[in-house]
Amino acid sequence: MPLAHVFLALIVTVIWGLSFVVIKLGVGSMPPLLLASLRFLFAALPAVFFIPRPQTSWRILIAYGFFLGVAQFGLLFAAIALGMPASLASVVMQAQVFFTILFAAFLMGERPGPHQILGGIVACLGLVLIAWPRLSGGGGVPFLMTVAAAAAWGVANIVSKKAGRVDMLGFVVWSSLIPPLPLLAFSLMLDGPDQVLAALSHVNAGTIGAIAYLAYPTTIFAFAVWGFLLSRYPAATVTPFALLVPVAGILGSTLILGEIVHPIEAIGCAVIVLGLAVNVFGIRVMRRLRAA
């Protein structure tokens, strides 16, 4: 992968890492599924009127919008509202890396190389080190919801790859038309019309800022770049970059939300970076060793 594309992947990880902090702040003033609905509504509108529909089927667009918007973020927002710490959520969601590689291997015939398998194992150890202290304190339901959200993200990544080399900005914008109504319907059923109407009538500047951050840099820019990279490189090459999301998520949660980072979590972050380095640069090191 060229360094320019590596840099794009790193920018995406920072944006996504900080988005967990924004979600935590947003669900404090608005029902989670309503917040997710508004996120995708504003990601789609008014951009859908100016950006052509990508050259792919509606089946692909609907599948991507459902698994990314309704399944992934519906579960994630609800889990955070139920008490899942933003820092821990940013870690657990990176199980999508392993779900994506697994789905790509079985559904698309992609086979990760030895260095990618080793990098994944190392990074997985880092995830365990970060998650273990918090999981031992309870919170099983929000944790399982977050794991399910990570699996849905893995499916969305495969759908994105199935779309091929399409205009990813248009792909993200048009697929964002799918989640708002289902998410709103679920919010009305679970939270009740009165709570939904009350939240909409008392929107403050903080909530507007959260929706704007989640709709534009997090959804339109980051997922368009992510889809662009997935359409050009194997899933086992691209998805491990998401392992850096917890680093940004934990730092942001500590500085903004005051969540405490345990020493073992700091060690886990370092192990994740090591795993990513093995995955990204391992093939180059192996080639140089063979050449020597």
Residue 29: domain span:
3-291
Residue with tokens 């795993």: 275
For residue 150, count other CB atoms closer than 10 A to its CB.
23
pLDDT value of residue 101: 80
DSSP annotation of 176 reads T
Domains of the chain: total: 1
Rounded Cα distance between 15 and 19, Å, is 6
Q: Do the Cβ atoms of 57 and 164 come closer than 8 Å?
A: no
Q: Which residue has the tokens 């967990």?
A: 20
Cβ(91)–Cβ(249) under 8 Å?
yes
Please state, in angstroms and rounded to a whole number, the distance separating the CA atoms of residues 238 and 146: 21
pLDDT along the chain (292 residues), means of 10: 89 93 94 96 93 92 95 96 88 82 82 80 82 68 89 92 84 94 96 94 91 93 86 79 84 88 79 79 72 68
Q: How far apart are CA 275 and CA 201, in angstroms?
A: 47
